[in-house]
Structure formats: C-alpha cells, structure tokens
Chain A
Amino acid sequence: MSQTLGVLARFENPAELIDAAKKVREAGYEKFDCHSPFPIHGMDDAMGLKRSPLGYIVGGMTLTGASIGMGLQYWIAAVEYPLVISGKPFFSWQAFIIVTFALFVLFGAFGAVLGMFHLNRLPRLHHPVFYSDNFARATDDAFFVSIEVEDKNFDEKKTQAFLTSIGGKDVELVAGE
C-alpha cells in the first residue's frame, strides 16, 4: 500500500535553489528542506533557519563536566578517603584544576558531537526522499526542494503546481511503502 510522503522538485543551480527556498518559505511552508551536493552560502537565511542552539548545549555540558570533575575529586580527597599528600590540604583545588579542565573540555566535545547528531536527527538510515529515483542526483549535479506531507499547507496538487510555478523541474510525488 502506497503512502504519499511529500513532493520533490529539482532546480538547476545553487542560485535557483536559494531563490526557490525563499519563495517556498514566503508561501508559508514550514516542513520543507533543500538538498544540494555541497553547502551553499546564504542557504540558512534563505530557508529562514534559526541559529543553532548547539552552543547552549555545549555550554551546559562544559559546566556539568567541570562540576563533576571538581566534585568527584573533592568527594574522594576531602570526604570519603582523605589522605595527606605532600603535606597539602585535603581539598587542594589547585591540584584538581587539571581534571576539572579536562572534563570541562571532554564534556564540551561530547556535547558538541552528540548535540549535533541529535539536532540533525542523526543517525538516520532512511529518509522518504530516497524513494525518488531522481534524488540520487542530489549528490552529483542536482538541487532539490522537498516539502513534506505533514506541512499544514500541503496539498498534493497545489503544492506540485506551486513548485512548478517557481521553476521546479521533475516535480514528483514521493510515495513509499
């Protein structure tokens, strides 16, 4: 049983794709995406993408890492198993800075990588646009706009007509099993 997942339109070059992205956004579509063989400058603005919240994820993770680093050492050295080492106080924070800093960086790096995966919905092994045979060219020489069926303005015929009207070629319904 076939199910409609969205529509796909092909554009000739990056400039056309940016132009198309602006028009799709202005037409009120929200659940759409652009696909190109390489990153295109200015695409984020054209699609109206907001700034990534990744920085705040990393910021939160670094503070967590630093707290864990310092807390762990404090708990071991001053609470649970106090040992006098080279005549220094139990809670010698100077000595603990290194591990604190290391966990600060480590958690930040984890936050950056895993946060990026999460925000990009990765790992993702399949995507509806792959049902289109045409779409293989997205890694070669073609530029695509896809609009998902979940979008509130989506209408099989009107959306296809709209994409054709803004210069889309090979406009097709993408349907999967």
Chain B
Amino acid sequence: MKFDNKTYMLLETGSFARKAIIVGVVGLLLSVVGAFMDHAQFFQAYLTAFTFFTTIGLGGLFFVLIHHITGAYWGVVMRRVAENLACTLPFMGLFMIPLFFGMHDLFHWTHAEAVAHDPILQWKAPYLNTTFFIIRNIIFFVIWAWLARGLRKLSLAQDEGDVSSLAKMRRKAAGGTVLFAITVTLFAFDWIMSLDPHWFSTIFGVYVFSGGFLGALGLLSLLANMLRNNGAGEIITAEHTHDFGKFLFGFTAWWAYIGGAQYFLIWYGNIPEETIWFIHRWEHGWKGVSLFLIIFHFIVPFIILAFRAAKRIPVLIVSIAILVLTMHYVDHFWMINPTFNDHHFQISWMHVTTLLGMGGLFIWWLFWKMASAPIIAMNDPKYQKSVEHTVH
C-alpha cells in the first residue's frame, strides 16, 4: 500500500485486503466445518474471537471519544485511523448474530430445567433471559454503530471544510462516553461474566474494557508504524509512536491494576461463590495460562515499555504491539474457556480458525474503511500542531 501526500488517501490496499479476505473466508469455512463436528466447542472458540475483536473496536471508539473530549492535539494525525477502527463495530455486530443460535451451548442460564431448580438463577432471570439478552445486545451495537459512524461522518465533513463539526464531535463524544461506559460494562457482563451465572464481579466491565483499550492501542501503534513506513512518514513520526508507547505503558499497568483489584478483593474475602472463578483458572491445568498472562500481559511489556527506545524504534514498536495483541487474545481465552473446561486445560483448532476467520474479515473491513476516505484528518484546527508535535 501507499500513502498519497496530496490527497491524504491510502492507495493500493487491494492486494493486502484480498489476502485478508482469503484468510478470513477460509478460516470461517473451516470453522463452519468445525461447528458441524462439535458445535459447543465451535461456539466457545467463536465467542473468544468475537469478544477479542469487539473489544478492540471498542478501544478504537474510546480513543476517538477521549480524543474529542480532552481536545488532545498529539493524536489528530491518527484520529481518522481510530475512527475507522471504531467503524469495525457495526461489522462485528454481524458476527454476533450466529452467537444467538449458540446461546444454549454457551449460557447455563438459558437452560430452563436448570433455572427451575436454581433460586439464584430464578432471581436473576429478569435480567438473564434470552429475549432481553438479544434485545439489549442489539441495542449496544446500534449505539456503538451510531457513535462510530456519526463521529466519522462529522470528521469527514471537517475534511470538506465544515467548521461547525468540531463542536458537534465534541458534544457527541461527551454524551457518548456515558453511553459507552454503561454499554461496555453490560456487554462484558452479558457475554463473558454470565458464562458462569452464579459468579459476579462489579469491576468486570472495567477489566474487559482495560484489556480492549490496550489491544486497540497495540493495533493503532501497528497501523501508525505501517503508515509511517508507507509514505506518511512526514506526518506520522516517531513522536506519535512514542505517545502510543506511553499510552501502552500506562494501560499495561492499568490493566494489571484492575485485574489485581478484582483478584485482591476476592482473595481477601475468600468466599467460595466468588473464589470459584479464580480456582477454575488456577487448578486442573490452567495455572500456566494464568501465570503466562501475568508475565506477558503485564510484567514483560511493562518493563520493556519503560525504556524510550521501545516507543521509538520501529522494530521494537511492532514487536511490542504484536505481544500486546497476542496477550489480549490470551486474556479473552483465559476469561472464557476455563468456564467450560474446568477439569483440564483445553484448546481446539477451532480457536485458530475462528481467530483467523474473523480476523481476516476484520482486517479487510478495516482496510476498506481506511482506503475509502482520506486517512488523515487534515482540516482539524490542531492538525499542524499534531504534525509538529514532539515528545519531551
């Protein structure tokens, strides 16, 4: 691909997008074969990939929202990329539809005979019931699509010289953050926490969000580096990857902070109904995954990112971004799969095919969006300041 300095368009993304869609379609076809072989396993793997990519899209949306309400200037050159990343959310909404047909395989609380003998689930039934679940999750995606597409549309109007759109974007972002916080929390409760319907953690939504935002920052760092190497090097510089690196550094610590806070209270209280979730992730072969997560989702990137070079040298940025994204998947794998396999560690080939399948189409959609309009918000009043921005 190539960045055109005059029109600010991303050209020649065709071959890359073609490769992505081939990987995507092949991956999904193999997954469909898997679905006929073992549908329960298929839905577990599919759900892992689904929450993985959706939370990355949500991280992109959050980046845009926070960018507008803080009035930050450093990231104006990367704002359009984040807007496009947020626009993967309506696309991910399509991937949610098959999951509605797998709810019986995934969610214990959908089993009427189990609920009938379970006073706790009966008490939770007004919230945890199939109809309300489907309706509210469609509403979440409608809200996200409305925010993501609306903000991108206003941003494109700004490219055409509409000076009023800056204030409109800011207003939309201010209200949007409130909607975002509520919907993301409930999304995490619904799709991940309710897999174990007796278990609860009020910070769970924040935990899922923290990992998602970290994943989005990893992907944005990769994309910034890619644009930098493909002709946009005079606009997107080491100064911008440096700031993404700082963000990654901060949110690596924040993810650990939230995860630690969740673990800490449950460990301290030591009540069986709460500790069961961590016991499922510590015993019967899952201990290794938990330790792997702590070491490579927190300790290793935290130490590496403390150094200046890790935020400025392209090969290091790319390595750390790939590590962060990989660990984001491990995080979701760790949240979702031990619930179903609490006797022994298990990973299926369908985890790979669903990840590649959804990932291929996700990347294809993202690049199609990125190539469909100028990739730089060049008419933002803070644009020039962002280009000239230097890190101290």
Contact = CB atoms under 8 A, between A and B. Distances in A.
Majority DSSP secondary structure for residues of B touching A:
helix
Given A41-B390, A59-B306, A97 B270 contact: no
B264 A94 contact: yes
Contacts of A55: 306, 308
Contacts of B272: none
B270 A94 contact: no
Interface in B266-280: 267-268, 270
Nearest to A95: B268
Given A59-B306, A86-B270, A98 B390 contact: no
Interface in A24-81: 41, 51, 55, 59
Contacts of A95: 264, 268
B264 A97 contact: yes
A94 B263 contact: yes
B264 A98 contact: yes
A175 to B, nearest CB: 36
Contacts of A88: 270
B306 A97 contact: no
Contacts of A87: 270
B260 interface: yes
Interface string B228-269: 000000000000000000000000000000001001100110
A86 B267 CA distance: 11
Instruction: Give the size category of B's interface with A.
Output: under 10
Interface residues of A, number: 11
Interface string B374-389: 0000000000000000
B279 to A, nearest CB: 15
Nearest to B267: A94
Given A41-B390, A59-B306, A97 B260 contact: yes
Nearest to A58: B306
A41 B390 CA distance: 9
Contacts of A97: 260, 264
Nearest to A39: B392
A150 to B, nearest CB: 29
B252 to A, nearest CB: 14
Nearest to B257: A101
Contacts of B264: 94-95, 97-98
A88 B263 CA distance: 15
Contacts of A51: 308
A125 to B, nearest CB: 27
Interface in B32-85: none
Contacts of B268: 86, 94-95
A97 B257 CA distance: 10
Interface string B294-313: 00000000000010100000
A164 B247 CA distance: 47
A96 B316 CA distance: 33
A88 to B, nearest CB: 8
A96 to B, nearest CB: 11
A88 B270 CA distance: 10
Contacts of B270: 86-88
A41 B306 CA distance: 24
A41 B385 CA distance: 13
Nearest to B307: A55
A97 B268 CA distance: 12
A108 B218 CA distance: 26
Contacts of A94: 263-264, 267-268
Contacts of A41: 390
Closest 8 CB pairs of A and B: A94-B267, A94-B264, A97-B260, A59-B306, A95-B268, A97-B264, A86-B270, A41-B390
18 contacts: A41-B390, A51-B308, A55-B306, A55-B308, A59-B306, A86-B268, A86-B270, A87-B270, A88-B270, A94-B263, A94-B264, A94-B267, A94-B268, A95-B264, A95-B268, A97-B260, A97-B264, A98-B264
Given A41-B390, A94-B264, 15 more contacts: A51-B308, A55-B306, A55-B308, A59-B306, A86-B268, A86-B270, A87-B270, A88-B270, A94-B267, A94-B268, A95-B264, A95-B268, A97-B260, A97-B264, A98-B264
Interface of A: 41, 51, 55, 59, 86-88, 94-95, 97-98
